[in-house]
A and B are shown apart, each in its own frame.
Chain A
């Protein structure tokens, strides 16, 4: 057959359903068709709950209990997988279809050495001798850029970072030279720069071996850069399918357009009028954590999470603190609000020193600084109803009678776009976006002047993220508070920030206005961070362009400053007016 030679994988009318013990079922994927061309990277895009992961799992017979295929057929490499039993699938998984999971921290067995985990696949599926197996594994480890492959062979996964583990995962999956690689959100848990490295590696290696890739993701930027074809899914059905060029340039469906348009873009932001004194100023703040002792008598190691950071925040201003995981950005935010004790430095609000250890000051500060956390599922007490959650802060600050409390709770719920009827619900009855709205309402009911927002939209889907960001900006307009916005997501930062502070390993790398940071970044690290992200932009003709962010050259005269590198002495200097950058001390 002609189509068979062209398509490596063909899915026809696939329907999966969730069955309970009474036999009743709810369809979670309806009538899905998918054609994966030989040698192509095909992306499946959708928000959480769109069924993309279940689709991928059904292809290799790894569906969770209770979910079953009720209709449709899957043809892979000219063979029908429909009649396959668990035993047949065992010969497919590994040598013919490789699977890379989202969370490298969880998908490698922590109790087995890297070498033994890699050998497993080759031993099960090839007739290579022991020595040949080891040789192949070592070659693969070297190929994915693991330094000292021999050492890695006897190491445990816990000795490696997330990015390295995902490389090891890739090495062990691709060692079997599968025809198809299914990658389920392979880099979602990784930082931007590392994400790019891993994906580049994956693209390169699959190209070399002629492996096709089914890339499951929610990140349209990645899709635009790495895939040739795309399938957009929503609520278990395919919305649109086609080549990237067609689908992104000329999206046919409203939902595809919505998804593309939901990517945050730079918006005009009023710069607040400079006041005489900043609302918040932080001087030389340092946070150290005590490490473990090796022996009871040996000194404790120390880990310095934040190295004497200073910053200022004006009334009504949004300062974004950007950095990868481990950069100390969250610790810094927690230290400023007093949730984390710091070893050195001072925090001043309106020129007055705020000492979190002073009980009265702590109590007073609650109506000045409020916090919105990243994951609303964990930041809302599951035993409280929405009304009690939002009204919680009022119990302590001002004594309100119940009627007044309820009125204020309802007003806040309206402000953040919640229905009044939701006041008696529990958090688990709300969606992720609604929960985050509750968290925001809980903060603004205190009428704070500063809100620390720690990755407030990272746990949300793109379209929901856009709505929540909009609400946050509208509220700021209305109440005039300032945001300390901690994030790793440059697109979000570009949308909301007035000024941006880039952090790495607990040190400030660069601070400037948003436009300066994005349009003329100076420090090599900032530049790397920017170039690792992709931008979805409207092309003006009703379509969208996706490309890696182009990082402009440094302005003349600033090209070869002695920029700070890991290990060198550190100072922060004003390279141009209001543009600070980390330099090596000379």
Chain B
């Protein structure tokens, strides 16, 4: 508890971010046990109902309850984007750190592969990977993770290379650390700040890319709701039925806000210089 306490004291962004993200996590949990209506039930009698009464957030063009769909979608959207960011950050950090630390031939080999991956537009790359892995939730996670990894690797590599020039890496070696323990104990902790920043911004991209894949029929298959998918399905009603766009839009942007606040707070938290401020 004391770590959480230290993390929250004097950090408005941390408490705010944590609060917001908890709301959405609760929503996701709630969505998997109970919803006011069946999120998949088509009911043409109640098409495009405005919010209020029986339908708290109105209904869509097929008469499905928006609130129920948001709740269920929360689970899908949050798992997909957080897992794909995790895949990207972990693999990108490992690859980038190896390339930056060992430099030379290792760097050149890794760099060539990463450059080739970056050369594809990430959505196109993701499309190809989904086609290979097969559509569905896990296909999307792998596809997005792999297509974001080179970007993370690039940034980690650059950070590690500049750290490599600092004397404390040499002193770590001189004190008897092996390459592995130098890398893990001395290099990686100093990469947290840039990784936190790029991780949070990738979260946003992942949420939206998922909907793009869904739109192309490669994401979570259609009747199942995701936030991105809801946004894509309903954009022609943006003027006539604002709530249809507003509900998933707000959900997405509030999540992003929460993730960004948390990212900032984490970065500060891991910076020893910020300790007493």
Partners in one complex: yes
B173 on interface, CB distance cutoff 8 Å: yes
Contacts of A363 in B (CB 8 A): 176
Across the interface, do B171 and A442 meet the contact criterion of CB distance under 8 Å? yes
Say yes or no: is A263 at the interface (Cβ < 8 Å to chain B): no
B129-169 interface (Cβ within 8 A of A): 166-168
Q: How far is the CA of A337 from the CA of B189 in the complex (A)?
A: 26
Interface residue tally of chain A, by bracket? Answer: 20 to 34
Q: What band does the interface of chain B fall in when counting residues whose beta carbon is under 8 Å from A?
A: 20 to 34
B121 interfacial by beta-carbon distance below 8 Å? no
Across the interface, which residues of A come within 8 angstroms of B275, CB to CB? 426
* Interface residue B177 (Cβ < 8 Å from any Cβ of A): yes
Mark B217-243 against chain A: 1 for CB-CB distance below 8 A, else 0. 000000000000000000000000000
Scoring A residues 419 to 434 as 1 if CB is less than 8 Å from chain B, else 0, what string do you get?
0000000101000000
Contacting residues of chain A (316-370) with chain B, CB-CB under 8 angstroms? 334, 337, 339, 359, 363, 366-367, 369-370
Report whether A381 and B186 are in contact in the complex, using a CB–CB cutoff of 8 Å. yes
Q: Which residue of the partner chain, among A366, A373, A383, A442, contacts B189 with CB atoms under 8 Å?
A: A383
How many A-B pairs fall under 8 Å by CB? 65
Chain B residues near A382 (CB-CB < 8 A): 168, 190, 272-273
- Of A339, A379, A397, which one neighbours B176 at CB under 8 angstroms? A397
Rounded to whole angstroms, the CA-CA distance of A393 and B174 in the bound complex is 9
Contact with B167, one of A337, A370, A378 (Cβ below 8 angstroms): A378
Residues of B within 8 A of A393 (CB): 175-176
Minimal beta-carbon separation of B55 from chain A (angstroms) = 49
CB <8 Å contact, A375 and B167:
yes
0 or 1 for each of B84-99: is its CB under 8 Å from A? (1 = yes): 0000000000000000
- Beta-carbon contact of A379 and B272 below 8 Å: no
Q: DSSP class of B's interface residues: helix, strand, loop or mixed?
A: helix
From residue B177, how far is it (CB to closest CB) to chain A in Å?
6
Task: Decide: A381 near B168, CB < 8 A? Known: A366-B175, A371-B174, A393-B175.
Answer: yes
Is there contact, CB below 8 Å, between B173 and A339? yes
Determine whether A185 belongs to the interface, using a CB cutoff of 8 Å to chain B.
Answer: no
The reply to whether the CB of B42 lies closer than 8 angstroms to some CB of chain A is: no
A382 to B172, CA, bound (A): 13
Do residues A378 and B166 form an inter-chain contact, with CB atoms below 8 A? yes
Is B115 part of the binding interface, using a Cβ–Cβ cutoff of 8 Å? Answer: no
| Chain A residues with CB below 8 A from B181, complex form | 396
What is the bound-complex CA distance between A379 and B190, given in angstroms? Answer: 14
Asked if B272 and A426 make an inter-chain contact with CB atoms under 8 angstroms apart, the answer reads yes
Cβ of A134 under 8 Å from chain B: no
B273 and A428: CB pair below 8 A?
A: yes
A370 to B174, CA, bound (A): 6
Residues of chain A touching chain B, judged by Cβ–Cβ distance below 8 Å, are 334, 337, 339, 359, 363, 366-367, 369-371, 373-375, 378-383, 392-393, 395-397, 426, 428, 439, 442, 446
A-B contact pairs, 14 of them (CB 8 A): A339-B170, A366-B176, A371-B174, A373-B167, A374-B167, A378-B166, A378-B167, A379-B168, A380-B171, A383-B270, A393-B175, A396-B175, A396-B181, A397-B176
Apart from A375-B167, A392-B172, what are 9 other A-B pairs with CB-CB below 8 Å? A366-B175, A370-B174, A371-B174, A373-B171, A374-B167, A380-B171, A381-B172, A397-B176, A442-B171
